[in-house]
Amino acid sequence: MAGLTTFSLIWIIFSLTEAVYAYRFPSHHLHRRDTAWTALGCWTDGVGGTRTLSAASYTDTVDMTVESCIGFCSTGSNAYVYAGVEYAQECYCGNYFSSGATNVSLSDCDMACTGNAGEFCGAGNRLDIFWSGAQPPAPPILVPSVGNWSLLGCYNDSATRALPYGTGVTGSVTVESCTTACYNAGYPLAGMEYADECYCGLIIENNSGPTPNTDCDMTCVGNSSEYCGGPNRLSMYNYTQAITITPIVNPSNPSTVSPVTSGLTGNWTYGGCYVDNANGRVLGNEFDSSTMTVEACIANCAGQSFTIAAIEYSTQCFCGDYLINGATKGAESDCNMACGGNATEACGGPNRVSVYSSNGNITLLPVPVVQNSNLPGQWVYEGCLAEPAIGARLFQYENEWTTNNTIDACLNQCAAFGYPVAGLEYGVQCFCGDVSDITTGGGTYVSDSQCNIACSGDPLHLCGGVSRLSAYYWNGTMNTWNTPANTGYYEFFIGGLVVPLIATVGINNKVTFLEKHGTSEYNNSTGAYELDLSLVDNYQLAWREMHVQSDVFCSGSIVLPDKGGRQINIGGWSLSSTFGVRLYTPDGSAGVNGTNDWEENVNELTLQRGRWYPTAMMMPNGSILVVGGESGSNASPQPSLEILPKPPGGDTVITLDYLQRTDPNNLYPFLLVLPSGRFFIGYYNEARILDPVTFDTVTVLPNMPGAVNNFLAGRTYPMEGSAVLLPQYAPYTDPIEVLICGGSTIGAAIALDNCISIAPEVPNATWTLERMPSKRVMPCITTLPDGTYLILNGAHQGVAGFGLATDPNLSAILYDPAQPIGQRFSILNNTIVARLYHSEATLLPDGRVLVSGSDPQTYYPNGSFVYPEEMRIEVYIPPYLNQGFRQPEFTITETDWALGGHYSITVNLFQGTTSGMRVSLVAASSSTHGNVMSGGRILFPAFSCSGNTCTITAPPNAYVSPPGWHQLFILDGPTPSHSAWVRIGGDPGQLGNWPAYPDFTTPGV
């Protein structure tokens, strides 16, 4: 079809707007018929760090549905009144809503369920909640009275015991069982702590006093409708009548209680009676049992490879490798309580522990102190920082290190990921964030004495306390995010006909777009269109209709080095389309339609394996490498590679075990040619270097860093980031570097806020991490002719896929590798257009960046879009075109360059001279899913000038510059020219004569 008449184009536009959608809109309603459950709407979650539904839960990244969640929450022991779905894949149950939860607009719950795209399953911190119809039981309470026992309130128990007598109970701990046990032991005071501990006393000791009742927020293990204290908090009860029973000091006859000094397993021996809680617990790793014995405690500790076991209060067992918090020996007679499971064995006493050692050594460590000297880097101690409330969090990123939390480890972790504030809490938690988090979250500084818990990995130093953070600041600037006055800007370019999936600038300076033909939202889509950049002011003439025969949904494309600069597209969505090989030879010129169209014939030319989400790469020998994917839409993995044209012989596909192992998190792997001729492959969070002939692994590179609190974060689809090669400069002797930006995490799908880079071929290569100004998953990176990189599109939360991302990132940023590490990002301008799944960004010949696509398929219940299927096309005008300077010009006659050859251009500069001029070569590429399938390669070749005639030296070999077409630019200071297309390295694989079928056009080599 040579072009579109006005009538046919208007008909298409009308048809697109009136199309009948085959897609089933997700719904917030329950689809199961035989149920009394009803939808209650969309509710907030995580307010103050607290789950709205906090009972049972589970996650299913593949098959979560509303029905399966309700089934989980209404079966057996999980017989709850409410069920809620969140983040597309999480299910929560409960009998009541937590304080602070509010009902919000249904539009907030906009993520489709992983197991049913026709249902909504909440969103980030948003729950779609369903009700069984039953009346919810009363929420947990601090029981006001039990018989003659009356509640005094919630009391502090953080340093030394407020009630000295710990006792076992009959059955599980409840308010009733604990008060009964204390009555039977002759005590008028009873207290429950940590949900499962019971203490008794005659008076409230050690200056313990009331705290807010909300501090006692842990439900009793024996009755979830009652609160039994909290961390270092006692639910305190007083017996209001006289007790005639003599208080029990020792639950058995003291004369028959003694430590075990013989017959113990291995080399375990008794080490003495030690004072506990004088300055805090002397051991951690607690295990309680009403039938505790010395032997049982030793077996528990030995099973965890600890060398010290200690028993206290008859029923409590503690383990460790040393005694901390300034432990001292007490009188042997103080360890006078019989073990709960053996009345003849001594099992400590009130604040006394019977200590046993496996090696005869008992190391005593002093009271821990604040670590405020010998800190790594530029860290300084800031103080003890109070969280805004129990369970609330000032900082988003948490690491929980139950055995190895130290100040140095936490500070180094935060610094490595670009966070200038570190906070340590509860001894085991390391948080990372920014100073602004403290201000916005309502954090306040309190006395250092409230940060009183030793670090789990360093008992000599303090790592916060109960809802208290030992806070450290980076004394200096950790990240310089430039905010230039000239940011460039987005600009509306033209209205589109479809939502493009792949965008490619052809050597005819027109842009081809491919979309989901066959699975398109529009019944009359032909799957392919071409945009004439010279006619964007005339919508009716700018677009040319083209055609594909099978579905290119999630396929791969590159530009071939043949004489015609053909575009090849491989793979697709399902059935025969996954084997598809499609070719288009760009033709026509500015203002003149071409007549060529996409060519394919699955009966003649196919891949050897069906592939959905594959990557293609031009190899130095002129053949095409095709890697990875799945055998069809959400089908089995295709963990292999193959070559086009197919080598002689039978099946030549090579299986890659590392792709098999990391499926499905490795789709659209990153493929790049290195200057050695070897290949870089990045997949999930791993990378390696491959031999270009055998494809064997030459080097396994270190795993890619992910999130500061999640090393399992990924960089390839579906946790989609983007990768490019950093610039190469003549004489091309410096090690090449790979840049990868963005990605996401498994589970909550928090987008990554960093870029990582590596020089893969240097000895002992390591990744360098730079924090971005914002989080971004599904980014697009466009190589600019000045050697900088425009990063745009994507979201702050989610993963790639339909309805799986929220909170679009509307900001563009610039990465300049010429600047020092930590100073390379500049914050540019914003758009109003959400560019999520299936968006593209590609460099135009005039130096602007074309921005297109977004196919999130996220809907409200009435069928309207949360984020639209985006047909608007924008351009970004980079800062170098926003200075009022006239772009330089040049003429060229020879555009078919041999490697190492010399070629002349005539230049016309308007600001500077040739002494300040630069020349760059940007490889042709296709943009899809953030994957730039040329690696975004840019070269700055050597050149010399005499007057306004300049001679450029072509790259020396096909490893530095694999065969292909490039946009040639000159730069007058910061300002680039319009480009001219040059072919470098010819067509060594003779692709211009392939395939040899009469229904395919072969342009020659």
436 exposed, middle or buried (CB, 10 Å; 0-12, 13-18, 19+)?
A: exposed
243-262 exposure pattern, b = at least 16 Cβ within 10 A, e = fewer: beeeebebbbeeeebbbbee
Cα–Cα distance measured from residue 341 to residue 300, given in angstroms and rounded to the nearest whole number: 15
Per-residue pLDDT band at 171 (split at 50, 70, 90): confident
Q: How do residues 475-521 score in pLDDT, each as one tens digit?
A: 999 999 999 999 999 999 999 999 999 999 999 999 999 998 877 87
Per-residue pLDDT band at 230 (split at 50, 70, 90): confident
The mean per-residue pLDDT over the stretch 160-183 comes to 85
More confident of the two residues 516 and 194: 516
The encoded tokens of residue 737 equal 């570097």
Q: How do residues 254-276 score in pLDDT, each as one tens digit?
A: 457 899 999 999 999 999 999 99
Cis peptide, bond prior to residue 718, ω within 30 of zero:
yes
Cα-based distances in Å from 307 to 302, 314, 359, 775: 7, 21, 7, 45
The confidence score (pLDDT) of residue 309 equals: 98
Q: How do residues 879-890 score in pLDDT, each as one tens digit?
A: 999 999 999 999
Name residue, tokens 């055609």: 547
Least confident of 172-176, 578-582, 982-986, 999-1003: 172-176
Least confident of 167-181, 448-462, 614-628, 983-997: 167-181
Per-residue pLDDT band at 10 (split at 50, 70, 90): very low
Q: Quote the percentage of the chain above a pLDDT of 70.
A: 94
The confidence score (pLDDT) of residue 438 equals: 97
The mean per-residue pLDDT over the stretch 39-56 comes to 78
The mean per-residue pLDDT over the stretch 30-54 comes to 70
Contact indicator for 779, 791 with CB cutoff of 8 Å = yes
Q: Quote the percentage of the chain above a pLDDT of 90.
A: 73
The encoded tokens of residue 307 equal 């060398």
Q: Around 211, how many Cα atoms within 13 Å sit in the side-chain half-sphere?
A: 22
Per-residue pLDDT band at 9 (split at 50, 70, 90): very low
The confidence score (pLDDT) of residue 490 equals: 98
Given a cut of 70, whether residue 11 has pLDDT beyond it is no
Given a cut of 70, whether residue 237 has pLDDT beyond it is yes
Least confident of 210-224, 536-550, 554-568: 210-224
Given a cut of 90, whether residue 424 has pLDDT beyond it is yes
Given a cut of 50, whether residue 1000 has pLDDT beyond it is yes
Residue 602 burial (CB count, 10 A): 17
The confidence score (pLDDT) of residue 249 equals: 67
Torsional sign, CA 124, 128, 132, 136: positive
pTM for the model: 0.77
Q: Which of the listed ranges 31-45, 382-396, 760-774 does the model predict with the highest average pLDDT?
A: 760-774
Cα–Cα distance measured from residue 242 to residue 250, given in angstroms and rounded to the nearest whole number: 21
The mean per-residue pLDDT over the stretch 762-785 comes to 98
Coil, helix or strand at residue 178: helix
Contact indicator for 897, 561 with CB cutoff of 8 Å = no
More confident of the two residues 903 and 225: 903
The confidence score (pLDDT) of residue 159 equals: 54
Mean model confidence pLDDT for the chain: 91
Cα–Cα distance measured from residue 191 to residue 216, given in angstroms and rounded to the nearest whole number: 11
Total residues found in the chain within this entry: 1005
Given a cut of 60, whether residue 652 has pLDDT beyond it is yes
Given a cut of 80, whether residue 921 has pLDDT beyond it is yes
Coil, helix or strand at residue 486: coil
The mean per-residue pLDDT over the stretch 51-64 comes to 80
Cα–Cα distance measured from residue 971 to residue 921, given in angstroms and rounded to the nearest whole number: 11
Sheet holding 697-700, edge to edge: 670-673, 679-683, 686-690, 697-700
The confidence score (pLDDT) of residue 3 equals: 37
Spell out the residues 6+ positions from residue 574 whose beta carbon is closer than 8 angstroms to its own: 551, 612, 632, 633
Beta strands at 980-984 and 896-897: parallel, antiparallel or unpaired: parallel
Per-residue pLDDT band at 164 (split at 50, 70, 90): confident
Per-residue pLDDT band at 38 (split at 50, 70, 90): confident
The confidence score (pLDDT) of residue 48 equals: 58
The confidence score (pLDDT) of residue 385 equals: 97
Cα–Cα distance measured from residue 508 to residue 529, given in angstroms and rounded to the nearest whole number: 14
Per-residue pLDDT band at 89 (split at 50, 70, 90): confident
The encoded tokens of residue 906 equal 């005539």
Q: How do residues 814-860 score in pLDDT, each as one tens digit?
A: 999 999 999 999 999 999 999 999 999 999 999 999 999 999 987 77
The confidence score (pLDDT) of residue 77 equals: 62
The confidence score (pLDDT) of residue 679 equals: 98
422 exposed, middle or buried (CB, 10 Å; 0-12, 13-18, 19+)?
A: buried
The confidence score (pLDDT) of residue 825 equals: 98
